[in-house]
A and B are shown apart, each in its own frame.
Chain A
């Protein structure tokens, strides 16, 4: 594409950047054991949770912030963050009728109606606002099938045995700097349990919203698919437009038992900062799935368009024989955004299989890195992996990196990795324009074609949403 055209800049405002004026209850800035005790008490947590948090906190104090990702940002002051902020609405509302109308209006404006009658067909939503879950739809309907879908804090109180059994079993609190921090201070999130043999009839989804200033969001999601069950889960995220950076350090743990299948999709649209790189969310997330049983199957699909910095590697531990792990990713960086994302596929079980499809789009001064590990352990007899990492480059100042690590310790295992780069060529654009498309439409068409393999993994409505998001995120990258 002609560089001048490409650089011609139209700045579209971030559509989700508004602030909800609502009275918030906030624990003062800073982090020490006192803050953690207050947070735990505020949530009425059983002792085992407080102990777990404190242990994580003490471990976190001994850790170093990682510096190996190809991202750069000014040092984060962990004492200048609020670790808890929630709308003042008394305790958890018991039904949608009790939810503050301002909050309902907020989600309405974000395109996520919480009113069950207006809700997207077949999607149950847990809405997380700063540090707490404010509403969960279709809970009762799901409960009738034995499916637990509720805020994490509620699960801790109502299903402590399940939480205790699985919490930290995939991402231990010692795992990495941000996972340790999350374990110490996480405030809410979503808990899902699908019982044996149950095929969850609707998409489960969580919508994360950061609203308050100087607040970190540390949520935790735990999904357990018992033997032979199936669940498809979606998460979406937005935040107000602010000049300061805000930290989001989430942990997601997935557990698939024998013959179970979990599909996990993310459309990440945190505030990316402005065209000059001011503000935006630091999105430092640990996501990992454990294919614990034979024939279990976990797939991660992510569309990452937001955040100033993204650092996440949704991974699969393929423990079960014949288990399957998948990672489908589109990551777009424009302006000054940086993304360092990828996956780890750890093959332990016999005939385990994994597929990686990563599509990186770099525009403006965006930096986009794929970092992945495929590891075939000694017992991974006949295991297979195929990885495809493609980068689409838009503009002379963008950067795109591919850093795959392949480790093979079993001679019957096969790993194949391919990576390519391409740019949108003048001739391609010309061809499409000569057929009557505007340049923007032509670019969107090409970009969507580039991402097709990933979009087809998303449920229909979200695929459409993701396409729109890409188009909006790329405005400014094309003339």
Chain B
């Protein structure tokens, strides 16, 4: 491992003093552990060797900020980070509840939660040591935000190593919609290693949409860690459309009774992409509910991996957990691996999972063709239907209008087919 890359990066960060020690400790832990390797069970299908083979650099102190995505395209408040830093000063739209971690770092909610939700793992430690900025969302008790907050993490510089960090705290009874958009603006290699920490207090509700649209040569690793208080509700939609190698982990702890979590995920693996999504949902208190829906497509020479792990801890009575995972293989060279796991330490529970991997159903294709659709259109419709099963959360028309064209464009990227909007 090229340790100097990381130590150099740390030396360039002008951290607030209260964080310096934590950063150094985190880096030491990371350097001791090294990058995860495929001998570890959780990394069985994904190798990060690539990160050791490409050239990476910490981001420039002042990034060029040449490319500024059109913030008005986002239907909500926007925090735009470019190569690790708040970009295009003055042009972002924000409000009192959404700001940058750098600016709001020294506040109670940050002190209380930063680094505590994600826990320690090699990549989370690395992010904790090297993050430069990111979104900080704080929704006070009872507040209901009407508009979504977009945290956009753009990467435009070749060879950049970026560690975006997000912290969202939704206090009791409050509601918000948070969208994280990882956006590649270069065809060159770079690496984003993101960490998002989310805390829902009693009765809080968060809709969380994560869209990964990294560049075609990019690596993306991320950890989303969350804590759910009593009666709170977390609904998430995770969409993977870009990046050569993506590995996303979501760790959810349902600490409070009656908490509910729903995670929908759609991954499109095409070209030579490798996508790996790991979910771990821990039910820790009575009467909590989880619903996981995964839809993965693998085409060309791509590989899609899904690992959904539901844990019901001792005493989490009346847990109701369901997991539904489907993969479609569209080419002879593609591969899908699925691991829907259940780990139960209680008896009064209702848990199930179903998983299937195969090709688009030939009977369904025939049915559509008998109504006049040609083979390609029938196939496309089936694929859209397949994706739609994971998009139930897009009930907001503005969000839908923002996201669907991106999704359809990605779907039409496969085999150069054009997809109807």
Which residues on A are within 8 Å of B, measured CB to CB? 68, 70, 362, 378, 391, 393-421, 423
In-complex Cβ contact of B340 among A394, A395, A412, A417 (8 A):
A417
Q: Are B342 and A402 in contact (CB under 8 A)?
A: yes
Instruction: Give the complex CA separation of A431 and B417 in angstroms.
Output: 59
Within 8 A of A (CB), among B323-344: 327, 329-332, 334-344
Taking CB atoms, residues of chain B closer than 8 Å to A419 are 340, 342, 351-354
Which residue of A has the minimal Cβ distance to B337? A407
Contacts A396-B347, A396-B348: A404 and B337 contacting too (C-beta < 8 A)?
no
Chain A proximity of B285: nearest CB distance (Å): 14
| Interface hub of A397, A404, A408 (most chain B Cβ within 10 A) | A408
Which residue of A has the minimal Cβ distance to B338? A406
Which residue of B has the minimal Cβ distance to A418? B354
Q: Are A411 and B330 in contact (CB under 8 A)?
A: yes
Q: List 28 A-B contacts (CB under 8 A).
A: A68-B41, A394-B347, A395-B347, A396-B348, A397-B314, A399-B343, A399-B344, A401-B341, A401-B343, A401-B344, A402-B341, A403-B339, A404-B340, A406-B336, A408-B357, A408-B358, A411-B329, A411-B330, A411-B334, A411-B359, A415-B355, A415-B356, A417-B355, A417-B356, A419-B342, A421-B342, A423-B348, A423-B349
Instruction: Give the complex CA separation of A406 and B349 in angstroms.
Output: 25
Contacts A400-B344, A403-B339, A419-B340: A410 and B332 contacting too (C-beta < 8 A)?
yes
Is there a chain A Cβ closer than 8 Å to B367's Cβ?
no
Which residues on B are within 8 Å of A, measured CB to CB? 41, 314-315, 317, 327, 329-332, 334-359
Which residue of B has the minimal Cβ distance to A408? B357
Q: Are A393 and B314 in contact (CB under 8 A)?
A: no
Q: Are B356 and A423 in contact (CB under 8 A)?
A: no
Q: Which 10 A-B pairs have the closest CB atoms?
A: A411-B329, A393-B347, A414-B358, A406-B338, A402-B342, A417-B355, A408-B357, A416-B356, A421-B351, A420-B352
Which residue of B has the minimal Cβ distance to A392? B347
Q: Are B331 and A405 in contact (CB under 8 A)?
A: no
Taking CB atoms, residues of chain B closer than 8 Å to A411 are 329-332, 334, 358-359
Which residue of A has the minimal Cβ distance to B306? A406
Q: Are B337 and A406 in contact (CB under 8 A)?
A: yes
Q: Are A405 and B342 in contact (CB under 8 A)?
A: no
Additional A-B contacts beyond A404-B355, A409-B335, A413-B357 (11; CB < 8 A): A68-B41, A393-B346, A396-B348, A397-B314, A398-B345, A399-B345, A407-B337, A418-B355, A419-B342, A419-B351, A420-B351
Which residue of B has the minimal Cβ distance to A393? B347
Which residue of A has the minimal Cβ distance to B331? A411
Taking CB atoms, residues of chain B closer than 8 Å to A406 are 336-339, 355, 357
Instruction: Give the complex CA separation of A68 and B42 in angstroms.
Output: 12
Instruction: Give the complex CA separation of A409 and B356 in angstroms.
Output: 13
Which residue of B has the minimal Cβ distance to A391? B344
Taking CB atoms, residues of chain A closer than 8 Å to B358 are 408, 411, 413-416
Which residue of A has the minimal Cβ distance to B345? A399
Which residue of A has the minimal Cβ distance to B358? A414
Contacts A396-B348, A421-B350: A405 and B339 contacting too (C-beta < 8 A)?
yes
Taking CB atoms, residues of chain A closer than 8 Å to B354 are 416-419
Taking CB atoms, residues of chain A closer than 8 Å to B341 are 401-404
Instruction: Give the complex CA separation of A373 and B327 in angstroms.
Output: 16
Instruction: Give the complex CA separation of A94 and B172 in angstroms.
Output: 81
Q: Are A402 and B347 in contact (CB under 8 A)?
A: no
Q: Are B339 and A398 in contact (CB under 8 A)?
A: no
Q: Are B332 and A423 in contact (CB under 8 A)?
A: no
Q: Are A423 and B353 in contact (CB under 8 A)?
A: no
Which residue of A has the minimal Cβ distance to B299? A411
Which residue of B has the minimal Cβ distance to A412? B359
Contacts A406-B355, A408-B337: A398 and B347 contacting too (C-beta < 8 A)?
yes
Contacts A411-B329, A415-B356: A405 and B348 contacting too (C-beta < 8 A)?
no
Instruction: Give the complex CA separation of A393 and B330 in angstroms.
Output: 39
Instruction: Give the complex CA separation of A68 and B327 in angstroms.
Output: 27
| Interface hub of B315, B329, B331, B350 (most chain A Cβ within 10 A) | B329
Q: Are B337 and A418 in contact (CB under 8 A)?
A: no
Taking CB atoms, residues of chain A closer than 8 Å to B352 are 418-421
Q: Are B349 and A421 in contact (CB under 8 A)?
A: yes
Q: Are A421 and B344 in contact (CB under 8 A)?
A: yes
Instruction: Give the complex CA separation of A237 and B243 in angstroms.
Output: 54
Instruction: Give the complex CA separation of A433 and B28 in angstroms.
Output: 63
Contacts A415-B356, A420-B351: A396 and B342 contacting too (C-beta < 8 A)?
no
Which residue of B has the minimal Cβ distance to A413? B358
Instruction: Give the complex CA separation of A92 and B349 in angstroms.
Output: 55
Taking CB atoms, residues of chain A closer than 8 Å to B342 are 391, 400-402, 419, 421
Taking CB atoms, residues of chain B closer than 8 Å to A400 are 342, 344
Chain B proximity of A458: nearest CB distance (Å): 27
Instruction: Give the complex CA separation of A231 and B72 in angstroms.
Output: 73
Instruction: Give the complex CA separation of A418 and B326 in angstroms.
Output: 12
Instruction: Give the complex CA separation of A410 and B341 in angstroms.
Output: 23
Contacts A403-B341, A406-B338: A416 and B351 contacting too (C-beta < 8 A)?
no
